[in-house]
């Protein structure tokens, strides 16, 4: 029998999974359609929900960092993603990093055993307005009927649906590229040269949370010189790439100057390499005995503590080049790579032009967008957008009107405000940051301003929460 679902969510990534969970919490039935494992995106490698395609970090938990506050607001709203992240947590200093397999398993199990969620495997190619609501078409020929639909297909939305979105938003697609960083097997790291430490000793483990590979000036210069000569993988439409600064490939960073890495992923500050540098390695003239010239950091990637990813080393160098050049890093000479870096398309719509309140498409009623495709950036932000759409829709379905978004003085409100109200002529994906929060009238030092923004955010969030729930 062909049933009509109140909501059909396309994509079981971070946004789609969170959205389905929020709707289920309110007793609303959803069809959750996911193309994997039938069809894999260029970056996903499993069939699990909420797969983290690159870093295993959900970034800082410190509330003076806006993403820390965003996570707290999400937790207050019963976020599945945040709950699963805490259960799958691995040591990473002040960051919330997870064992990606356990994290995805927790999300998958929660949703696939929820009676309100029907998980359907298939590739969505388009949506039409039928006699009794919306009809979501799959490549297999199957049609899912629903009253409302949420598109949460992420930065790697499959081409058929991307074409449909393009036709129905009436706006040309924007593209930019993201790159992923390599992952190294821990047992292949040489601990005569590498060592554990956290920057400024701000870690959970007494000995430090990160594996550090220190470099002399000569080693750094040789390394940079090889990267400059490395062969790069061809990327379609590369000339249309709009790079997002937080995820620049290392070769692009080096193109901005030989020393750029020293102020980015290889900055030597906050790490004393102590005895190791005083030992048998000559660290050269310019570094003090306690401070290397440059440091490559590797962060734990799984609970078993066997895999480590190279922090900030996203790249589009060809794979043989990556192996050759990354093995120049002291401690990684014999590195065995569980995954090498790569670059991928990242697709998003011009939300301020095409979406309205509730993140609903202006020109096709009943179609909502959630996640990175709306032009937020990052795992946490994508899940946050999924959470809000889940809450907007729950209220709409249960009470006939949309839930008012939290004020733009809060992290969730600032994110929704960015998606709907940013300048449509220069719209670019954005991580949550205090710069997106509503301005505060206050002449004060940067840190004091942040404290005021934080206090106001906490106050306004709870005011909104108690008013609405
Ligand atoms: C290569 C790459 C690396 C990234 N690295 C990071 C990082 O390190 N840290 C970070 O914070 N953010 C990163 N991001 C950005 C972003 O936060 C993540 O992509 C995040 O997963 C987005 O969440 P989402 O739910 O919007 O999309 P996704 O998590 O990608 O989920 C979308 C889902 O929709 C499915 N789907 C797509 N098309 C269809 C279709 N037509 N029919 C059915 N299902 C479909 C996909 O299979 C996928 O499961 C990266 C993005 C990319 C592309």
What does the pLDDT look like over 63-94, one tens digit per residue?
Answer: 989 999 999 999 999 999 999 999 999 999 99
Closest atom of ligand 1 to CA, residue 51: 29
Question: 265-279 pLDDT, tens per residue?
Answer: 999 988 865 444 333
Closest CA to 183 of 21, 304, 12, 40: 304
Query: What φ, ψ does residue 432 adopt, rounded to 5°?
Result: -65, 140
Residue 215 to residue 294: CA distance in whole angstroms: 5
Using a 6 Å cutoff on CB, does residue 418 contact ligand 1? Answer: no
Closest CA to 418 of 55, 153, 66: 66
CB contact at 8 A, 411 and 70: yes
Residue 219 to residue 243: CA distance in whole angstroms: 28
Using a 6 Å cutoff on CB, does residue 33 contact ligand 1? Answer: yes
Residue 437 to residue 411: CA distance in whole angstroms: 7
Using a 6 Å cutoff on CB, does residue 265 contact ligand 1? Answer: no
Residue 186 to residue 403: CA distance in whole angstroms: 47
- Residue 56 DSSP one-character state: -
Q: Whose CA is nearest to atom 4 of ligand 1?
A: 54
Q: Whose CA is nearest to atom 10 of ligand 1?
A: 378
- Ligand 1 pocket mutation pick from 46, 125, 155 by most atoms within 8 angstroms of CB: 155
Q: Whose CA is nearest to atom 52 of ligand 1?
A: 178
41 C-alpha to ligand 1 centroid (Å):
9
Residue 12: is its pLDDT beyond 80? yes
Using a 6 Å cutoff on CB, does residue 158 contact ligand 1? Answer: yes
Using a 6 Å cutoff on CB, does residue 152 contact ligand 1? Answer: yes
Calculate what percentage of the chain has a pLDDT beyond 70.
Answer: 91
CB contact at 8 A, 63 and 94: no
Using a 6 Å cutoff on CB, does residue 344 contact ligand 1? Answer: yes
Using a 6 Å cutoff on CB, does residue 44 contact ligand 1? Answer: yes
Residue 246 — very low, low, confident or very high, per pLDDT cuts 50/70/90? low
| CB atoms near residue 391 (< 10 Å) | 25
- Average per-residue pLDDT for the chain: 89
CB contact at 8 A, 375 and 415: no
Q: What is the DSSP track for 252-279?
A: HHHHT-TTGGGGTTT--TT---HHHHHT
CB contact at 8 A, 116 and 23: yes
Using a 6 Å cutoff on CB, does residue 41 contact ligand 1? Answer: yes
Closest atom of ligand 1 to CA, residue 386: 25
Sketch out the chain's domains with CATH numbers: 4-173+349-468 (3.50.50.60), 179-345 (2.40.30.260)
Using a 6 Å cutoff on CB, does residue 372 contact ligand 1? Answer: yes
User: How distant, in Å, are the alpha carbons of 228, 245, 290, 346 from that of 259?
Assistant: 12, 16, 20, 28
Question: 178-201 pLDDT, tens per residue?
Answer: 678 898 989 899 999 999 988 887
Residue 173 — very low, low, confident or very high, per pLDDT cuts 50/70/90? low
Residue 396 to residue 414: CA distance in whole angstroms: 21
- Output the pLDDT for position 174: 58
- Output the pLDDT for position 283: 38
Using a 6 Å cutoff on CB, does residue 35 contact ligand 1? Answer: yes
Work out whether strand 30-34 and strand 4-10 pair parallel, antiparallel, or are unpaired. parallel
- Output the pLDDT for position 238: 58
Q: What is the DSSP track for 306-374?
A: -EEEETT----B-HHHHHHHHTTSTT-TT--EEE--EEEEEEE--HHHHEEGGGEESSSTTEEE-SGGG
Closest CA to 19 of 92, 72, 109, 79: 79
Residue 293 to residue 284: CA distance in whole angstroms: 9
Question: 120-130 pLDDT, tens per residue?
Answer: 999 999 999 98
* Least confident interval from 8-12, 95-99, 230-234, 429-433: 429-433
Question: 283-308 pLDDT, tens per residue?
Answer: 333 344 467 999 999 999 877 788 89
Question: Partners of 297 in the beta sheet?
Answer: 212
Residue 313: is its pLDDT beyond 60? yes
- Output the pLDDT for position 298: 96
């Amino acid at each position: 029998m062909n049933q009509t679902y109140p909501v059909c969510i396309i994509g079981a990534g971070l946004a789609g999974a969170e959205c389905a969970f929020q709707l289920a919490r309110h007793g609303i039935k959803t069809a959750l359609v996911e193309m994997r494992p039938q069809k894999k995106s260029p970056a996903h490698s499993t069939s699990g929900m909420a797969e983290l395609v690159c870093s295993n970090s959900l970034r800082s938990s410190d509330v003076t960092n806006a993403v820390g506050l965003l996570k707290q607001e999400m937790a207050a709203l019963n976020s599945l993603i945040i709950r699963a992240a805490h259960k799958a947590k691995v040591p990473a200093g002040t960051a919330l990093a997870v064992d990606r397999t356990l994290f995805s398993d927790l999300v998958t199990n929660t949703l696939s055993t929820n009676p309100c969620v029907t998980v359907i495997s298939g590739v969505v190619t388009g949506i039409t307005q039928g006699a009794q609501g919306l009809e979501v078409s799959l490549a297999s020929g199957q049609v899912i009927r629903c009253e409302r639909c949420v598109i949460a297909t992420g930065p790697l939305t499959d081409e058929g649906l991307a074409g449909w979105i393009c036709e129905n938003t009436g706006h040309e697609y924007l593209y930019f590229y993201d790159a992923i960083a390599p992952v190294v097997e821990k047992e292949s790291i040489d601990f005569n040269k590498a060592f554990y430490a956290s920057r400024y000793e701000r870690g959970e483990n007494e000995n430090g949370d990160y594996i550090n590979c220190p470099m002399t000036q000569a080693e750094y210069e040789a390394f940079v010189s090889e990267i400059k000569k490395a062969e790069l993988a061809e990327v379609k439409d590369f000339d249309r790439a709009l790079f997002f600064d937080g995820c620049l490939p290392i070769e692009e960073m080096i193109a901005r100057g030989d020393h750029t890495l020293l102020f980015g992923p290889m900055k030597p500050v906050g790490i004393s390499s102590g005895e190791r540098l005083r030992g048998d390695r000559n660290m050269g003239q310019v570094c003090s005995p306690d401070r290397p010239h440059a440091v490559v950091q590797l962060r734990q990637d799984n609970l078993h503590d066997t895999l480590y990813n190279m922090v900030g080393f996203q790249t589009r160098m060809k794979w043989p080049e990556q192996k050759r050049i990354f093995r120049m890093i002291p401690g990684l000479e014999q590195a065995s790579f569980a995954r090498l870096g790569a670059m991928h398309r990242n697709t998003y719509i011009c939300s301020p032009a095409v979406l309205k309140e509730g993140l609903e498409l202006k020109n096709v009623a009943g179609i909502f967008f959630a996640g990175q495709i709306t032009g937020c950036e990052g795992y946490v932000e994508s899940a946050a957008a999924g959470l809000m759409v889940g809450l907007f829709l729950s209220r709409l379905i249960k009470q006939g009107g949309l839930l008012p978004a939290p004020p733009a003085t809060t992290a969730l409100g600032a994110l929704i405000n960015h998606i709907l109200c940013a300048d449509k002529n220069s719209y670019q994906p954005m991580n949550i940051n205090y710069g997106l929060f509503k301005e505060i009238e206050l002449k004060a030092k940067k840190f004091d301003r942040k404290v005021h923004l934080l206090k106001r955010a906490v106050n306004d969030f709870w005011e909104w929460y108690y008013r609405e729930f």
